[in-house]
A and B are shown apart, each in its own frame.
Chain A
Amino acid sequence: MAKRSFLIPGVDKRLLIKDSLKVMPDVTRRRFIAGGASLGALTLLTGCDVVDSSSADTLLAKVSKFNDAVQDFIFNPDALAPTFPESAITKPFPFNAYYDLDDAPDVDGEAWKLEVRGLVDNKKSWTLPELYKLPQFTQITRHICVEGWSAIGSWTGTPLRDFLKLVGADTRAKYVWFQCADKDGYNSPLDMRTALHPQTQMTFKYANEILPRAYGFPMKIRVPTKLGFKNPKYVVSMEVTNDYKGGYWEDQGYNSFSGS
């Protein structure tokens, strides 16, 4: 009973896994086994080297994909984010980026134009005065960062779905892909369903003032149903596309769905 290879005296790892597998539903079990990391993951308790192993990474990537499918299946993508009274606004609203505020893009509003590309009828670029003429709405929602902190803010702008309609976008396409002026070229894809969500907004104002540099002048995409990194600032172009073009954080491993 006291073999050296035992995790805990009296417990055979293989038998323990076998027993654990029995309580798992069939799908989970198949994925667990398919991942090939079942035994490896258990050695985590003793050894730990499995953390860097590719089998664990493969399993985690698979579970992440599985999570996307589950979320897609059980949640309503059109659910509205809660809105708040003005008194609930977080002051000061935090600046957050992978660089200091001094390094934030300093966009010249006169020269700036929003480039519209991809599966749209009208590929004309838009100046800021032209965009300001579009009907605007204000919404006070909670911005939730992938890091865990959150803050309530007031954003004003045009619903993205109205703009997509205006430029004749093919709304059967899979993504709207945004590129930004941040250093290192920030970009992020947004699935079409979320792009057409009534609260998804091309934002021009924060707290009823022209969007300051800290919050993404001249234009931010505010998506209250997604985590903060899916809310690009300093946007310079949007592309309607069927291709998944990746994103600044998405490419580094944040889940692209990241919907709240």
Chain B
Amino acid sequence: MSSLTVTDEQISAVKPKVIQPVWVRVMHWTNAFAMILMILSGWQIYNASPLFGFSFPRDYTLGGWLGGALLWHFAAMWLLMINGLAYLITGFASGRFRKKLLPITPSGVLHDVRAALTFKLGHDDLSVYNYVQRTLYAGIIVVGVLIVLTGLSMWKPVQLHWLVTLFGDYPTARYVHFFCMAAICAFLVIHVLLALLVPKSLRAMIIGR
């Protein structure tokens, strides 16, 4: 099966087993919602004092001005953090991370990246992640943890000064926070694009099978 297109026979051949359990689906969409709120309000906050020579277009920001964006950012952070924590705990405790994301071997990643770039990476069994998926999904979890930790450092640099020290200093934490956002946006583009290319994966994330 070296094609990305899926025939009807293939679909009917797949037994209707649950690919994405309900907790994964709920947390996935909760995270997607919280993440979009965080990114859009974050862009407005960035615009108040840009790190680089550009600002985000106002139409793609949330909050209207810095004060409003901060309110959104500090509200959505609860959703992001509580959901993220629940996801990490459940992911580790249920063994899902171990089963789905490990092992990640360099040779496996190389092989699947080459296959993906030549459009030869199959998705016959959605319950097994290929090495590209494993790398991206494990990587984005690490980025997610980093963006929360740098966010906390910037929110409470006096109270959590030890956390700030972990990243060097306050301005560095700000840069790391920004680059994590950029990584998440890049992930989002690839992730959505691939989900649209393999619609049954999107379906699995919605109805489970």
Contact = CB atoms under 8 A, between A and B. Distances in A.
A149 B75 contact: no
A255 B70 contact: yes
A20 B26 contact: yes
Given A150-B171, A252-B67, A60 B27 contact: no
A11 B82 CA distance: 22
B70 A16 contact: no
A75 interface: yes
Given A60-B71, A255-B70, A148 B159 contact: no
Interface stretch (B1-9, B43-51, B96-104, B118-126): B43-51
A9 B195 CA distance: 13
Interface in B87-138: none
Contacts of A82: 158, 161, 164
A97 interface: no
A166 interface: no
Interface in A72-88: 75-76, 79-82
Q: How large is the interface on B (under 10, 10 to 19, 20 to 34, 35 or more residues)?
A: 35 or more
Contact of B206 (A8, A75, A148, A254): A8
Q: How large is the interface on A (under 10, 10 to 19, 20 to 34, 35 or more residues)?
A: 35 or more
A225 B161 CA distance: 11
A131 interface: no
B75 A63 contact: yes
Contacts of B161: 81-82
Contacts of B67: 249, 252-254
Interface in A51-77: 51, 59-61, 63-64, 67, 75-76
A101 interface: no
B74 interface: yes
A22 B30 CA distance: 11
Given A8-B206, A254-B67, A45 B29 contact: no
Contacts of A19: 22, 25-26
Contact of B70 (A24, A28, A224, A254): A254
B72 A144 contact: no
Given A148-B48, A225-B158, A60 B75 contact: yes
Contact of A144 (B25, B26, B48, B157): B157
15 contacts: A8-B206, A19-B26, A23-B23, A61-B71, A75-B159, A79-B159, A82-B161, A82-B164, A146-B48, A147-B66, A148-B46, A225-B158, A259-B156, A260-B155, A260-B158
Interface of A: 8-11, 16, 19-20, 22-25, 28, 42, 44-45, 51, 59-61, 63-64, 67, 75-76, 79-82, 142, 144-150, 224-225, 249, 252-255, 259-260
Interface of B: 22-23, 25-27, 29-30, 33, 36-37, 45-46, 48-49, 62-68, 70-72, 74-75, 78-79, 82-83, 86, 154-159, 161, 164, 170-171, 174, 203, 206-207
Given A23-B27, A259-B156, A259-B158, 11 more contacts: A23-B23, A63-B75, A75-B156, A146-B70, A147-B49, A148-B154, A224-B158, A253-B67, A253-B68, A255-B74, A260-B156
